[in-house]
Homo-oligomer: A and B are copies of this chain.
């Protein structure tokens, strides 16, 4: 079958690889209907994180189950499934606590699976899914083709934006600022509105993303950054800062922007994978009672909550896909996102 392999920075290839096989009793094999490129895939692409040896890449996909091992009890061949961006058993203490990204048996696509050997990446024709019953979410009933983009966001970006909002404690009437206008930041706007925020400030400098931010519920757009950005957020929030700030980038600068834009007693919900060593400055956080909560989003646990709103059209996170390409053109998908020609690219095998 064909799958995407990263060989080095800016060297993405779609290659013939071995077909996946059931290797443990709990596996499933899923035929990928759609996959996509994540902002975090751009780190190895840009060489920010090194690629020591060629390996599979991609961690967001939806598809149809083709085969399951004898221990799989829930997932059945023919099921349309959403795969979160990680593998989890759904039964360990951390999964039961709602932190399935810390699953004691968990693993990562394209990495080393703890039970069945090397894990496939998500950007391929098929994927072997370990711990299938814990990992895969079965979407009930027939799935229309135009539902696919929305469902695919539940594998990562919509759930991750939601995690930022939940971690920050967004509730009815809150003022919320969102740092980052990538797909996750835009989904965080959807999440903030869905949870009842009434003032939603999108910090964005790109006209196309500003337009989508407003469509998703942003009430204000702030283009300024640094001290000026903080001042603008304060102007819009009675002089004190936003109740909740959602940090969806992961750099030192974006975290600084988030912390300083939060009012005393407020909370930063962060989901931007930390890059560039953004150690948190505890003294100003202490002085102003600004908390920080979040992390790698346990999106598997959010799918059941978000799915009805996605299927009903109450929220439309699938709109973040502004380019669709065949899997064979994965290299162009990476380039388009790297050069900001696309917000997020959907790949069809």
Contacts and interface: CB of A to CB of B under 8 A. Distances in A.
Chain multiplicity (copies):
2
A49 interface: no
A167 B291 contact: yes
Contacts of A93: 238-240, 263
A80 interface: no
A42 interface: no
Nearest to A99: B265
Interface stretch (A183-191, A198-206, A280-288): A280-288
Nearest to A101: B289
Size bracket, chain A contacts = 35 or more
Q: Which of A265, A274, A288 has the largest count of B CB atoms less than 10 A from its CB?
A: A265
A289 B240 contact: no
A295 interface: yes
A273 interface: yes
Contacts of A98: 265
A97 B263 contact: yes
A278 B282 contact: yes
Contacts of A278: 282
A240 B293 CA distance: 18
A293 B293 contact: yes
A286 B265 contact: no
A296 B289 contact: yes
Nearest to A282: B274
A289 B298 contact: yes
A255 interface: yes
Interface in A61-102: 93-94, 97-99, 101-102
B296 A265 contact: no
A54 to B, nearest CB: 25
Given A282-B292, A285-B295, 20 more contacts: A93-B263, A94-B240, A94-B263, A94-B265, A97-B240, A97-B265, A98-B265, A99-B289, A102-B289, A270-B286, A285-B292, A286-B294, A286-B295, A286-B296, A287-B295, A289-B295, A289-B296, A291-B294, A292-B292, A293-B293
